[in-house]
Amino acid sequence: MKKLSKLRLNVLNEQGLEEKQMNALRGGNNCYCSCYWANQGGSSIEANRDANYIIKVILFILLCSYKINAQVILIPISRHVSNMTTVDSGNIRIWYALNATDINNSETYDDYQRLEIGVYLSRYYSYFIYYSDSLHKVMREEHSNVQGRSVWMGVHGKNEFWSEYQFSEYYKDFSKNVFTEYAVMPMYMHRYNCHYSEDIPIQNWKLQNDTLTVVDYLCQKATCRFRGRDYTAWFTVDIPISNGPWKFGGLPGLILKVYDNEKRYIFECTRVEIHEKKYPITLFDYKHYEKIDRKKLLQFQKAIHDDYFKVAGVEFTSIGKQPEKIPYNPLELE
């Protein structure tokens, strides 16, 4: 049984991430991005509009050639990580793989996510997205004459398109018992970025006697039904913090693994970091995000999955059979 201790960081280090850089989709009339012309010192809006033709061709080829059962929802442009405010500080950070095919290979994850726990609140977010946004910050600093932003830089696992569980951030404010989700919408839909708050969700867990070891911590089993799905969680009393990935919590120890009974969504811890010196827990500038009701947000996200281009107001003409729609299976059914 492993006690809480400082662990050596050896997964997804900076060098490893840089070695896995992928080319971002750049240019475009909609965001007036000049990254495509960075080597020439940036472009004018007029020149970039011409570049947008290339983007349309890419989208056309992408949508026509992608697997017939694929769902194509374009990711939004990067955010400015410099526009962040420190809202708390913490000593512990937990990493979770979302839907890993191979837990030892981050390229097989749908997402790589982090839980940061402070004195008053916790933050849960996508590290892949945060890393991409950070690379854009470096690029802008090194190429100050380049205007606009690109979409994705760096590794992103097996997920190539927008997912609400990757492009949302979740804060639990324990001092006020408030849970807040900040939802970032796909490309062409930034005007619909929104947030909602509710009481920190409660799961009525039933403790079981089964045990499992996750990242060297002995865990106990618990089950519950939450908003339309049945879940199994594995928590460790060796880390006596009542928290976990996404909206999960409420157990006498940290949740290191949790999944629904159909295993459509599997959150599994890959490592626990203990910092001797506190690190800042930050918040993006969300003041322009519209306030929305949780269930209305779920309805809106379903509409995006059902017909993204229609909801986004983007006209697209393709030749031949249209891709079949993937059944929408959200985490929350209620």
- Residue 188: its pLDDT value, please? 86
Average pLDDT, the chain: 79
What is the pTM for the complete model shown?
0.78
DSSP 3-state assignment of 280? Answer: strand
pLDDT in tens, 227-281: 999 999 999 999 999 999 999 999 999 999 999 999 999 999 999 999 999 999 9
- Residue 38: its pLDDT value, please? 41
- Residue 293: its pLDDT value, please? 96
The pair of three-digit structure tokens given for residue 75, joined into one six-digit string: 């990711």
- Residue 273: its pLDDT value, please? 97
CA 174/CA 254 separation, integer angstroms = 15
- Residue 136: its pLDDT value, please? 61
C-alpha separations of 207 from 2, 51, 220, 255, 327 in Å: 21, 58, 8, 13, 33
CA 251/CA 193 separation, integer angstroms = 32
**182 band by pLDDT with thresholds 50, 70 and 90:** very high
The pair of three-digit structure tokens given for residue 206, joined into one six-digit string: 């039933």
